[in-house]
Amino acid sequence: MQTTLKRDVQFVGTGLHSGRPARITLRPAAANHGIRFRRVDVTDRDAFVPATFKNVADTMLNTTLSNAAGVTVSTVEHLMAAIAGCGLHNVLIDIDGPEVPIMDGSARRFVRDITAAGLYETDTPVAVWRVVKPVEITVGDATARIEPCDGITIAFEIDFPDAAIGRQMRKLDMANGCFVRELSDCRTFCRRAEVDYMQSRGLALGGTLDNAVVVDGDDVLNPEGFRRADECVRHKMLDALGDLALAGAPILGAYTGLRAGHGPTNQLLRKLFATPGAVELVVCDDDQARRLPGFGLVEADLAAVG
C-alpha cells in the first residue's frame, strides 16, 4: 500500500552549489499526492514544483526541477533517492530556497531521519511503471538503458583517468533494504581540477571535504578516505535511483548506466514514456511489492546509515 510519513522531518544544511543556508521540511501527504516541493519563500507565483522527469530543467552537475512559472529546486537527486529507497510514496517538501541541502554528500542523513520518523501505510494500492520494451539512449560516450525486469535493478560502470577511482562496476537489486544498506552512505565525488573549474564559474560554492570526496590522481584528499572501496560507482547508482524516482511511481525494470549521469538518465525516462508500448502503469500486487525499494527494511539495514 502507498505510504507517507508519520510526522514532519526537517533538515538544515548548505546548498552545494549556491553555498547558501538551506532548510527543508518533509510533511505527510495524502494518498496519490506523490512527491511535490513547495518553495515557501515564493509568494508571487505558483510555488509548487512536482518531482517529475518532465519538470527537469537542468542536469549540469545536479538535477534541477522547474515549474511552468519558472520556480526551481535544484540538487534534488540525493533526497529523491532516499525517498525512493525508503519506500516513501507521498510527501510534501517545504523548502526555503532554490537548493536542497547537500548534508554530507550522500543520502545517509535523509534515510536515517525518514526511517526514524516512521512510515504510515494508507489503504491505497501502489501503482508501478512496468517496463515492457527495452529503451536505450546514448549521449556522447555515455549510455543509459532500461529493460523489462521483475524487480528494480541498477547496474553501473564508470571509468576515470584518476587512479584513485579508475574503472568500477557494480550491479544491485534494489529490493529488501538494499539501497539503505549498500548505497545510502556513498558520497558525491569530483576531481580536484573540476573543483577549481566549478568554483571559478560560481558553482560548488558550498562544497567542502565534509560533503564531497575529492580525488587528485592517485590521492583522495579527504583525510578519512573512501567509505567503501567502490564508493564512486555506488554513488552513481544512488544518483540513478534518485533520477529514476522522478518517473512519478516506482519503476519495475533493469537500469544500466555506462558513464551515465543525470542528463542521460532523464533523457532515458523521456524516451521511455514517449515510446509507444514501452511502459505500462499497473497496480502493484503483493509479489511485486516485495521487490520494491524500502520493502521489508530491518534493523540490520538501518545500521548502515549510522
Nearest to 131 by CA among 145, 115, 120: 145
Quick check: 128 and 250 in contact, CB under 8 A? yes
Q: What is the helix (H) or strand (E) element at residue 239, kind and residue range?
A: helix 231-244
Q: What is the helix (H) or strand (E) element at residue 80, kind and residue range?
A: helix 77-85
Rounded mean pLDDT of 116-126?
A: 94
- The string of pLDDT tens digits covering residues 1-22 is 999 999 999 999 998 878 899 9
Domains of the chain: 3-121 (3.30.230.20), 127-305 (3.30.1700.10)
Residue 204 pLDDT: 66
- What whole-number distance in Å separates Cα of residue 58 and Cα of residue 40? 21
- The string of pLDDT tens digits covering residues 188-244 is 998 887 777 777 777 666 778 889 999 999 999 999 999 999 999 999 999 999 999
- The string of pLDDT tens digits covering residues 238-280 is 999 999 999 999 999 999 999 999 999 999 999 999 999 999 9
Indicate the residue type of 266. Answer: N
pLDDT band for 100, please (50, 70, 90 cuts): very high
Cell numbers representing residue 98 in the block: 532554490
- What whole-number distance in Å separates Cα of residue 183 and Cα of residue 18? 25
Nearest to 120 by CA among 95, 93, 89, 78: 89
Q: What is the helix (H) or strand (E) element at residue 137, kind and residue range?
A: strand 135-139
Quick check: 218 and 117 in contact, CB under 8 A? no
Active site includes 262?
Answer: yes
- What whole-number distance in Å separates Cα of residue 192 and Cα of residue 196? 7
Torsion, Cα of 128, 148, 77, 166 (10° steps): 160
Quick check: 248 and 260 in contact, CB under 8 A? no
Q: What is the helix (H) or strand (E) element at residue 258, kind and residue range?
A: strand 251-258
Report the alpha-carbon angle 48-54-55, nearest 5: 35
- The string of pLDDT tens digits covering residues 25-65 is 999 999 999 999 999 999 999 999 999 999 999 998 899 99
Residue 98 has pLDDT above 70, yes or no: yes
Q: What is the helix (H) or strand (E) element at residue 156, kind and residue range?
A: strand 152-159
pLDDT band for 283, please (50, 70, 90 cuts): very high
pLDDT band for 168, please (50, 70, 90 cuts): very high
Candidates 17, 89, 235, 262; catalytic one: 262
Inter-CA distances, 226 with 56, 164, 185, 203, 231, Å: 31, 10, 11, 24, 6
